[in-house]
Amino acid sequence: MCRRVVYLYPSIWILLLSTVLYTLPALFYPEEIADISPNANTAALYCLVFTVGGLVLRLAVRTPLIMSQVLESPARQPIKSIPGRWLWRVLFVQGLITLWYLLKVPLQSTGLYGIFFDPEHAAQFREESLKLLDNPTLQYAYLVGFSALSPLAFALLLARASELSRSRRWGLMVPVLAFLTFYMLLTGARVGLVNLAVAGLMYAILRRRMTLGLKPLLLAGIILFMVPMLLSFLRERGRYEASALEYAEAIGERIFLLPMLISGWFVEYADTRGPIGLLAAIGLGESINWGNLIALEFLDRKEPVTIETVTTPTAFMFSNYLYFGWLGLLPSWIGLYLIDLPVDWARRAEASLRLPLLATMMYFSVIFVQSGFGVTWISHGYMSVAVIAWVAACKGVTPTARESRAHLGATNEMRHEKSRPAH
């Protein structure tokens, strides 16, 4: 029985996460919102309209995928043979980026060094390691590797490891995971390993045909909270004495409360000073870092601002509110349609890339609900994943296309035989 699903599209996950991050917190943090970001309630209403309208338009415009077409290879066999060539290609590119990075930033100046060997100055190490990346091309390459290539490599690693014996599986996973961990922690950022966990969870959901047991969900939840807690402890030991519960509470607020507050600040800025307009939206207006400007104006309501370069990124639909007010719903809904386009390429890719690509695109829904539309496509590398999907679609052959050509050839041959005169 063919099961049609919509969860393969990033837009559905964006709508779900938008509800969790920007609507539901208004019910659980009413006092904090009233004191720190009173316009967050307007942001919650805006997000609710965006979610409902986006879901209706999404179901009206696109036909859900057939699950069996996604999970089967061109030979009509379950995907069990995943060649490692795409994994090594991605790791090769990341290796080149890592070498380039370390040529510009000495290891003793990285955030990773600060976390483990000088936690008292870990924040300073992280800031300096970012400042030393004075080459815009290197900055872009590292960020694409951080946000796009590393999660894709992890999904490819899981796909490749699933076909190996236990001894060979660990022989592959340990060095690759060590390299990915090293790459993600170079700047000292905690979110990198969480990104890997999300990509792995998305791959597991696809691999199990959109059903997942309690153990993988618990494991993903533990990683989601324990990794930032551990890195925070390592980075802040000697400066702050906090219990594990206090760390967990801080991380919970970072995940659920802070995005809600930031969305309210974007709405408040647009409501009090007016939308900043189309030129700013397409990057032709005055060169202003709006995330930094809003952070400097509103962040001290919650905590003291100690770094002048601090930014408060938010989801692309709230960036559109900053540009156009409530009319920002229209480009936000169009954006959902564009985000889903690479899925149609990925599902036509060869078997070795299909599930890892889809899992990476689903993971990117987490980035889209935290960053602007153009920033996620270009700086975070969603366009790179889309290009890989398009190349793979050009090389790959879908089951339907191959079978259609075979059927057409057989039909033409039969017609030719019937048209021959009998002897």
Collapsing DSSP to helix, strand or coil, 396 comes out as coil
pLDDT at 6: 57
Give the residue among 367, 271, 353 at the shortest CA–CA distance from 90.
353
Per-residue pLDDT at 406 exceeds 60: no
Mean of per-residue pLDDT scores for the chain: 78
Torsion sign (Cα): 357, 320, 295, 45: negative
pTM of the shown model: 0.80
Every domain of the chain and the residues it spans: 4-404
Q: How far is CA 180 from the centre of its chain?
A: 16
What is the predicted pLDDT for the residue at 420?
53
Where does the pLDDT of residue 201 fall: very low under 50, low under 70, confident under 90, or very high at 90 and above? Answer: confident
Phi-psi label, residue 122: left if phi above 0, alpha if psi -120 to 50, beta otherwise: alpha
In this prediction, residue 338 carries a pLDDT of 93
Q: CB of 149 within 8 A of CB of 388?
A: no
Could you give the angle at the alpha carbon of 96 between the alpha carbons of 392 and 192, nearest 5°?
A: 80
Sorted by sequence, the CB contacts under 8 Å of residue 222 that are 6+ apart come out as none
Instruction: Check residue 225 and give its pLDDT.
Output: 59
What distance, in Å, lies between the first and last C-alpha atoms of the chain?
47
What average pLDDT score do residues 329-358 get? 88
- Whole-number pLDDT of residue 103: 87
Q: Provide mean pLDDT across the span 366-373.
A: 91
CB atoms within 10 A of CB 177: 15
Listed ranges 122-136, 207-221, 230-244, 280-294; the one with the highest mean pLDDT: 280-294
If you average pLDDT over each of 62-66, 79-83, 90-94, 272-276, which comes out highest? 90-94
- Percent of the chain whose pLDDT exceeds 70: 71
Question: What pLDDT does residue 80 have?
Answer: 41
Residue 61: count other Cβ atoms within 10 Å of its Cβ: 12
Higher-confidence position of 300 and 178: 178
| Banded pLDDT at 333 (limits 50, 70, 90) | very high
Whether residue 234 has pLDDT greater than 90 = no
* Mean pLDDT on 389-417: 55
Q: Are 381 and 90 in contact (CB under 8 A)?
A: no
46 confidence band (pLDDT: 50, 70, 90): very high
Helix axes 191-207, 150-161, angle to 10 degrees: 40
Q: Which residue has the higher pLDDT, 114 or 173?
A: 173
State how far the alpha carbon of 158 is from the alpha carbons of 83, 134, 338, 355, in Å.
Answer: 12, 35, 28, 10
| Largest CA-CA distance found in the chain, in angstroms, rounded | 98
- Does the pLDDT value for residue 57 go beyond 50? yes
DSSP 76: S
**Which SS3 state, helix, strand or coil, does residue 307 take?**
coil
CA dist 281 → 15, 258, 264, 287, 375 (Å): 22, 24, 19, 11, 12
Q: Please count the residues of the chain.
A: 423
> Of 107-111, 221-225, 237-241, which gets the smallest average pLDDT?
237-241
The pLDDT of residue 222 is above 80:
no
For 279-299, write each residue's pLDDT tens digit. Answer: 888 777 667 788 888 888 888
SS3 72: strand
The pLDDT score that the predictor gives to residue 135 is 80
**Are the C-beta atoms of residues 377 and 420 closer than 8 Å to each other?**
no
Closest CA to 280 of 269, 295, 296: 269
Element (H, E) at 288: none
Helices (H), 118-257: 122-131, 136-144, 150-161, 166-184, 191-207, 214-236, 244-252
Decide which of 284 and 237 is more confident.
284
pLDDT at 131: 62
Using DSSP's 3-state secondary structure scheme, residue 281 falls into helix
- Quickly state the pLDDT bin for 404 (edges 50, 70, 90): very low
Classify 4 as helix, strand or coil: strand
Q: Which amino acid is it at 399?
A: P
124-133, 136-145, 250-259, 304-313, range with the lowest pLDDT: 124-133
Structure tokens at 283: 């990057």
Q: pLDDT category, 342, cuts 50, 70, 90?
A: very high
Residues 96-155: tens digit of each pLDDT: 999 998 888 888 777 777 667 666 666 666 666 666 677 888 888 999 999 999 999 999
- At residue 43, the 3 state secondary structure works out as helix
DSSP string, 343-373: HHHHTTS-HHHHHHHHHHHHHHHHHHTTS-H
| Rounded percentage of the chain residues whose pLDDT exceeds 90 | 29
Q: Rounded distance, CA 64 to CA 8, Å?
A: 8
Q: How is residue 194 written in tokens?
A: 């969480």
